[in-house]
């Protein structure tokens, strides 16, 4: 469908202001499409193109396949992919406590993770989701009942036995990653869990 055109009446109103130097908003169907001092500005006649306005009043297009965000300082727009995949590990014998995960490149808002112990401790896996600090996951509960999976309010749940496991929740989403709060229950066997996170801005 062809993009809507600026009506004759709107174009006439714009022409009245040209050269005056007043700061105005140009609205089409109650949506601001251009903002600023329009003295000397030219308009192409479409809803998506206004040229000649001060640079700070427009949004410069980003590269292909990038998305528009507000920067960390909340002071300007910025274009970014908004997604990153990172890998971390967890010692199955490690004590309970907070662990910061960094290197994401931005403050995530959503996490999707897959966690699996290595071959020395491969008795279950888990798939988890986080929106901020709200977490949900399910884990392989084959040790308890063959062929079953159990939902929990955790991001990660790695079972060594019904009384020996490591689990984690999201404590905070941080500027360059996030912080997990790990809880060790019982005495899991020695081994390393490999955890993969899809981080979304």
Would you list the domain boundaries of the chain? 8-58, 83-200
* Gap between the Cα atoms of 44 and 90, Å rounded: 57
Q: How far is CA 28 from CA 4, 17, 54, in A?
A: 9, 16, 20
| Confidence grade of residue 95 (pLDDT, cut at 50, 70, 90) | very high
Q: Are 157 and 137 in contact (CB under 8 A)?
A: yes
Place 120 in a pLDDT band, splitting at 50, 70 and 90: low
Whole-number percent of the chain with pLDDT over 90: 44
Q: What is the pTM of this model?
A: 0.69
Class of domain 83-200: mainly beta
- Rounded to 5°, the CA angle 178-172-94 comes to 65
Q: Which residue has the higher pLDDT, 142 or 11?
A: 142
Res 122: pLDDT:
57
- Residue 61's pLDDT is 72
Average pLDDT in the chain: 78
Tokens of 39: 């003295």
What is the average pLDDT across 4-24? Answer: 48
Q: How far is CA 56 from CA 62, 76, 113, in A?
A: 15, 9, 39
pLDDT value, residue 33: 47
Is pLDDT at 46 greater than 80 in this prediction? no
d(CA 173, CA 110): 9
User: What's the rounded Cα separation, in Å, for the pair 149 and 139?
Assistant: 5
């Amino acid at each position: 469908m062809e993009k809507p055109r600026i009506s004759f009446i709107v174009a006439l109103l714009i022409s009245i202001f040209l050269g005056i130097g007043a700061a105005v908003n140009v609205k089409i169907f109650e949506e601001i499409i251009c903002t600023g001092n329009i003295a000397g500005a030219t308009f192409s006649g479409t809803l998506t193109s206004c040229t000649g306005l001060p640079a700070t009043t427009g949004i410069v297009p980003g590269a292909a396949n990038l998305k528009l965000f507000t920067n960390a300082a909340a002071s300007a727009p910025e274009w970014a992919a908004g997604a990153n995949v990172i890998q971390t590990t967890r010692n199955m014998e490690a004590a309970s406590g907070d662990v910061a995960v960094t290197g994401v490149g931005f403050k995530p808002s959503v996490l999707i993770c897959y966690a699996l112990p290595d071959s020395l401790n491969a008795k279950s896996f888990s798939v988890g989701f986080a929106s901020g600090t709200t977490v949900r996951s399910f884990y392989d509960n084959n040790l308890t009942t063959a062929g079953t999976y159990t939902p929990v309010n955790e991001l990660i749940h790695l079972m060594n036995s019904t009384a020996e496991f490591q689990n984690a929740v999201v404590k905070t989403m941080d500027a360059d990653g996030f912080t997990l709060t790990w809880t060790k229950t019982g005495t899991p066997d020695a081994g390393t869990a490999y955890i993969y996170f899809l981080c979304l801005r």
